[in-house]
Amino acid sequence: MTEQIIHGILLALHNIALVGCAAAPFYNRNLVNTRAQFGPKLHYKLDKVVEDTLQGNAPYCMAFIGILFFTGITMPLNHYLFNGAFKQLHLIAISALALKLLCVFAMVVIMWIIFFKINPKLRELMATFKPEEAPATDRESLFFTLRAQRKALCEKCLWFAVGVLVFSAFLGFGT
């Protein structure tokens, strides 16, 4: 009974993290698409809110991925602790696990690029812009180029998050 309670708690946390991993790129995508309606011209107040929102989500994304890893490792260890062996998985479940881990790994790589390469450059550029004056054309162009790169990576991250959700459904196959 204790094993099932611990497993249930871990699975609930794991599922919350899964939903968070899918929700973050989905809502970020909607915000970016809404902002795109104004074109590649800086609107300081709007762009400041968009940047603050998107970059403010970074800690949540990292926390969700951390929870996924933690619970993904502790669920099989929980079974091992109570049963003295790891649970035997069906070939379909093993394949789903491998694909899920590849998707999570891809998401981590994408987040690394966004959070530690693109976002700092966007933050630096945003700091040079002033609400009352037009930005230099080259900086404005670079700003929107970096945003386009981030948007493309977020689109990929969204599909990997969907993959994580889909492959998770097959982990119980054969049990």
- The model's pTM is 0.85
Q: Where are the domains of the chain?
A: 2-168
Kindly compute the dihedral angle of the four CA atoms of residues 74, 79, 81, 86, in this order, to the nearest 10 degrees: -100
Please state, in angstroms and rounded to a whole number, the distance separating the CA atoms of residues 100 and 148.
27
Which pLDDT value is given to residue 171?
Answer: 85
Helix ranges (DSSP H) in the chain: 2-36, 44-56, 58-83, 91-113, 119-128, 137-168
Please state, in angstroms and rounded to a whole number, the distance separating the CA atoms of residues 57 and 172.
31
- Contact 64/107 with Cβ under 8 angstroms? no
Q: Is the dihedral of CA 97, 98, 103, 107 positive or negative?
A: positive
Which pLDDT value is given to residue 175?
Answer: 61
Exposed, middle or buried, 44 (CB in 10 Å: 0-12/13-18/19+)?
middle
Look at residue 153 and give its three-state secondary structure: helix
Residues of the chain with pLDDT under 70: 174-175
